[in-house]
Amino acid sequence: MAFCSRNSRNIIIINLLKSKVGSSRLMKLSRVCCYGTCLNSTNHCRFLPSTTTLPQLGNPDPNSHKKGHSPCSQRFQSTKSGQQFASLPNGEHSQVLDFPGGNVVFSPEMQFLSESPNVYNPCYRVLDDNGQLISNSVFVQVSEEIAVKMYSNMATLQILDTIFYEAQRQGRISFYVTTIGEEAINIASAAALTSDDVVFPQYREPGVLLWRGFTLQEFANQCFGNKADNGKGRQMPAHYGSNKHNYFTISSTIATQIPHAVGAAYSLKMDKKDACAVTYFGDGGTSEGDFHAALNFAAVTESPVIFICRNNGWAISTPTSDQFRSDGIAVRGQAYGVRSIRVDGNDALAMYSAVHTAREMAVNEHRPILIEAVTYRVGHHSTSDDSTKYRSADEIEWWRMARDPVTRFRKWIETNGWWGSEAESQLRSSIRNQLLQAIQIAERAEKPPVKDLFRDVYNNIPSHLREQEKLVRETINKHPKDYPADVPVDVAVKDDGVSVYDVDVIVHDDDLIIHVR
């Protein structure tokens, strides 16, 4: 597994010195400034470096944090004025000045940085579209046990999405969002992490929870918002959360979880924990200010956080071509001083290797890592969306059939003799039956009482929330037919201002049934 240390500033320096440095000297300098250009093969796992210090370039020192500094913090080392200037070989006017913000190379020539690179960053890949290993691939070895579990979870995620999507279309749940086409990003990244790593998801990462042990019944309880739901029915369906699994509750607002992850990572670093924070988001999330603030925050504080961007081509109906003109997402990390890599998000083996390596860097070197997972959102954005209005059905079908990450990984484990058609049939039949049973149980389960809407935030409920609670109950009493008949209202009635009676108010047909406890 190789690493690249390319830097646009270094390439400009070479252009400036072409006329001033002999060919042999230039070759030596080129090896310094453009180390790793021989690694252009797309099946190498290469991380774009965070920062590079002149004139000694190459891979950042992985032990620099143990020496009391890092490539980032080196910029702030003070120097005496007499030592600020350094000349490049034979460069009469090419001097390096150590500004507080970093080394700056002066030049008498006026040159603007290009708006786009001449060579685009490669995409790390291990398996081809037919699930066969690409020759000379560099990847982290996966045992048979882990590989089979990865595939089983990817297939389970497919079935879960299909059944819950159908349940929403039948009117049994109000909303759903699928992960179709992005199963490898979910499961492979989860497999490369540890249970101590804290996850800040968007809303398309249920596979991470599945890998960590969240049961099918727990998924169903959340989608149906019953009393067994961790969130007590206060979240939209598919907005999961689990304290037990270090999985922070999903928020629909875009990109707000990204700076939260950096703060958590900084806390882990301060507490000297052997863990990192991981946050997921889509390409649309990178158009939010939270993304940019978070990357800068992580780079400056040198926090152990992994940013995983699912670049699936669409932010609802907005294509990436209408969002940015840069070479994808990975280059943005480099601009903020964050080591970055672009990965084939439909290649489970590549995703596992990249995240596994990124975690080692984040935890051992105290540094942020950005992973751009290139994929395609095969499903609609959500059940509220019809993606055929803005993209062709043929395009969707091609990605579903030709680039399906589940099928690709299945072919690889079958080649290894770890899987077969009998196991496939048994798995899919078993998971489908378990899910249908879980839905029946979740649908019949008791709903949380209305009072839970106003609990779990304040130890002593403030007056404004008590007033809101009173108004809700009054409205239900006035319009009982407009509220679900199976939701306990749970009224607290004050008698003489002192005694309090807990009362269950259940609306059944046209009758108001009150039980006093």
252 flagged as catalytic: yes
Q: Is the peptide bond before 55 cis (omega within 30 degrees of 0)?
A: yes
User: Which residue in the list 5, 303, 382, 387 is annotated as catalytic?
Assistant: 382
| Helix (H) or strand (E) segment spanning residue 398 | helix 393-402
Q: Where are the beta strands (DSSP E) in 410-498?
A: 491-495
Closest CA to 362 of 281, 456, 266: 266
Phi/psi at 58 (nearest 5 deg)? Answer: 130, -155
Phi/psi at 420 (nearest 5 deg)? Answer: -155, 175
- The CB density around residue 414, as the number of other CB atoms within 10 Å, is 16
User: Which residue in the list 73, 252, 287, 326 is annotated as catalytic?
Assistant: 252
- The CB density around residue 517, as the number of other CB atoms within 10 Å, is 7
381 flagged as catalytic: yes
Closest CA to 381 of 314, 296, 467, 298: 314
Identify the three-state secondary structure at position 492: strand
Residue type for position 9: R
Q: Exposed, middle or buried, 221 (CB in 10 Å: 0-12/13-18/19+)?
A: buried
Q: What is the DSSP string of 26-62?
A: HHHHHHHHTTTGGG--TTS--PBPS---SSS-SS--T
Closest CA to 158 of 512, 336, 407, 356: 407
Residue type for position 392: S
- The CB density around residue 79, as the number of other CB atoms within 10 Å, is 11
User: Which residue in the list 70, 152, 381, 469 is annotated as catalytic?
Assistant: 381
User: Which residue in the list 166, 397, 467, 474 is annotated as catalytic?
Assistant: 166
Q: What is the DSSP string of 95-138?
A: EEEEETTEEEE--SS--PPPSS-SSPPP-B-SB-TTSPBPTT--
Residues with catalytic annotation?
Answer: 166, 252, 381-382
